[in-house]
Amino acid sequence: MLRALLLLPLIGALIVALLPTRDPLLIRRATLAATGVVLVFSWALLGQFDPAIATRQFYETHAWHARLGSSFSLGIDGFSLPMILLAALLMVVAVIASSAVRNGARMYFSLLLVLETAMFGVFMARDWTLFYVFWELTLIPLFFLIDRMGGSNRERRQKAALNFVIYTMGGSVFMLISLLLLYDASPTHSFGMTALADAARSLPIATQVWIFAGLFIGFGVKMAVFPLHGWVPLVYSEAPAAVPLISSGILLKMGGYGLLRATETLPGAAWALQGWLATLAFITIIYAGVLAWRQRDLVLMLAYASISHMGVVLLGLAALNTAGLTGAVMQMVAHGLVAGALFFLVGLLHQRTHTRDIGEYSSLVRSMPRFAFFMVLALVAAVGLPGTAGFIAELHALVGGFARWGGWMLLLSLSLLVSAAYAFRTVGRLFTGPVAPVGSAMQSVPDLTRSEMAAAGLLATGILGIGFYPAPALALIGSSVARLARLFGG
């Protein structure tokens, strides 16, 4: 089933690539159908997944390079399945958000489907060489999406694409070195995740720390934690609307997911570096939150807000206890839904108004009531209001962090106040500000269409569903979280 899920987007990309370029509507509908089939197939896995089993499920392996010890191994657990479900959902939303794409539509939508396969591969891989191949494969479609389909300023979009590749590949070099060191330490000389984890735990702590540091740089760049976040502002500013949505909703989570796997492989190093991880998490949360508060550009505000929320993921992971790890995984899911909704809605607003400056909007609730409802819901979910998925995630991270560091968790509370400041400032400027003059373009902005309402409704259902009834989501990840926490006495 995992192989089939991996191939479905590629088959869709091939079909889209063969369609006539003169009919962008047909291309978009074909892509929407392909991502819809992938969504249904991926969620069908949920019915056959047993949450009580902490180890890998749907496992299959085939020798890839026997002498090297690498294999084509696929499997999922309570950490990877939520990421796959989230990726499948957000890809449908990204296609709906790309209704304005006309020129180069065939290349654009084909690249989106290739990117979906690469992301699935990262979450399914149970061999580090396969993981690394899919990790690097995400760069190719993203580079061309930014470079060819980005903003109108050619020089800036090329700079953004190059900036993204240099940052990510630079981090990947450290990751590769760490994996080679782990491979050398393995008596079986295998890249299988289980085999490398067994070998790594017998290494001296000092060696584990150096290897973990290399993995952290690779995953931290993708996760955009301080000070490895420099690629985010330019890429989010210049990329087409679907790329910030996918990047914030899924690609940042690839970094968090990789860090979970690194922690599982090198628990001694994670324990030794716990204080440093927590320090970086607090700096990321507050620093990025303040920068988000200072932005007038809506996309940049959401970009820095996403970095701040990934700091919560790092903080929960650094707690190394059941509540903290639960908060880290739930934050990845919750922020994926919330960031997907926010970037989706802001992208649609930019298409209609051709501006992202918050100061140029005024009382849009009069002309866009449906947009206003979903935007306010997403913003209060980003703050972590009770009844939303963000509250469940941040509560677990807060409890886990308090059990580990006590009063230092007041810093997290401070960051929540900063989040509330920029979220409610945005609500005020967008919907309760001064009424636009008669005849102004802001008085006649079209509201959400039916398909856009459906996409926003799906994300809102996930946000509120987890917020009011989190038990199924917590049960889905519970066994895997407990298994990881046991490595640290939890």
pLDDT of residue 105: 84
Whether 437 has a pLDDT exceeding 80, the answer reads no
Torsion angle, alpha carbons of 87, 90, 95, 96, to 10: 160
The three-class DSSP label of residue 357 is strand
Q: Which residue has the higher pLDDT, 211 or 489?
A: 211
Q: In which element (H, E) is residue 175 found?
A: helix 154-185
Which of 281, 272, 288, 289 minimizes the C-alpha distance to 314? Answer: 281
Determine how many CB atoms are found less than 10 A away from the CB of residue 153.
12
Whether 1 has a pLDDT exceeding 90, the answer reads no
Tell me the mean pLDDT in the region 54-75: 83
Which of 485, 486, 384, 481 minimizes the C-alpha distance to 81? Answer: 481
pLDDT of residue 443: 65
DSSP 330: H
Residue 442 near residue 367, CB atoms below 8 Å: yes
Lowest mean pLDDT segment, chosen from 60-64, 169-173, 346-350, 430-434? 430-434
Structure tokens belonging to residue 109: 């939508």
Whether 433 has a pLDDT exceeding 70, the answer reads no
Distance CA 166, CA 147 (A): 14
Tokens 């106040």 — which residue?
Answer: 417
Distance CA 387, CA 116 (A): 30
The three-class DSSP label of residue 297 is strand
% of the chain with per-residue pLDDT over 70: 97
Which of 90, 88, 112, 71 minimizes the C-alpha distance to 5? Answer: 88
- pTM of the complete model beyond 0.75: yes
Residue 331 near residue 309, CB atoms below 8 Å: yes
Residue 379 near residue 427, CB atoms below 8 Å: yes
CB-facing half-sphere around the CA of 244: CA atoms within 13 A = 35
Tell me the mean pLDDT in the region 105-121: 91
The domains of the chain are located at 273-490
Beta partners for residue 65, in sequence order:
70
The alpha carbons of the chain give a radius of gyration, in whole angstroms, of 22
pLDDT of residue 438: 47
The three-class DSSP label of residue 187 is coil
Q: Which residue has the higher pLDDT, 263 or 411?
A: 263
Tell me the mean pLDDT in the region 463-481: 92
Residue 172 near residue 136, CB atoms below 8 Å: yes
Distance CA 252, CA 246 (A): 9
Q: Which amino acid is residue 128, in one-letter code? A: W
DSSP letters along 406-469, please?
Answer: GGGGHHHHHHHHHHHHHHHHHHHHHHSSPPPPTT-GGGG-----HHHHHHHHHHHHHHHHHHH-
pLDDT confidence bin for 356, thresholds 50/70/90: confident
Distance CA 408, CA 412 (A): 8
Tell me the mean pLDDT in the region 361-389: 84
Alpha helix stretches (DSSP H) within 224-321: 232-238, 242-246, 252-265, 267-272, 274-294, 298-319
pLDDT of residue 428: 77
pLDDT of residue 71: 84
Average pLDDT, the chain: 86
DSSP letters along 33-100, please?
Answer: HHHHHHHHHHHHHHHH--TT--S-EEEEEEEEETTTTEEEEEEE-TTHHHHHHHHHHHHHHHHHTTTT
Tell me the mean pLDDT in the region 377-381: 89
Distance CA 434, CA 445 (A): 16
DSSP letters along 10-45, please?
Answer: HHHHHHHHTS-TT-HHHHHHHHHHHHHHHHHHHHHH
pLDDT confidence bin for 95, thresholds 50/70/90: very high
> Counting every residue, how long is the chain?
490
DSSP 192: B
* Residues 264-281: tens digit of each pLDDT: 988 889 899 988 999 999
Peptide bond before residue 227 is cis, with ω within 30 degrees of 0: yes
pLDDT confidence bin for 67, thresholds 50/70/90: confident
Tell me the mean pLDDT in the region 137-142: 90
Lowest mean pLDDT segment, chosen from 130-134, 183-187, 199-203, 359-363? 359-363
Whether 490 has a pLDDT exceeding 70, the answer reads no
Q: Which residue has the higher pLDDT, 212 or 366?
A: 212
Structure tokens belonging to residue 260: 């979970």
Residue 35 near residue 136, CB atoms below 8 Å: no
Whether 248 has a pLDDT exceeding 90, the answer reads no
Whether 441 has a pLDDT exceeding 80, the answer reads no
Which of 42, 75, 262, 283 minimizes the C-alpha distance to 171? Answer: 262
Tell me the mean pLDDT in the region 385-392: 88
Determine how many CB atoms are found less than 10 A away from the CB of residue 482.
15
Tell me the longest C-alpha to C-alpha distance in the chain. Answer: 76
pLDDT confidence bin for 440, thresholds 50/70/90: low
Q: Which amino acid is residue 466, in one-letter code? A: I
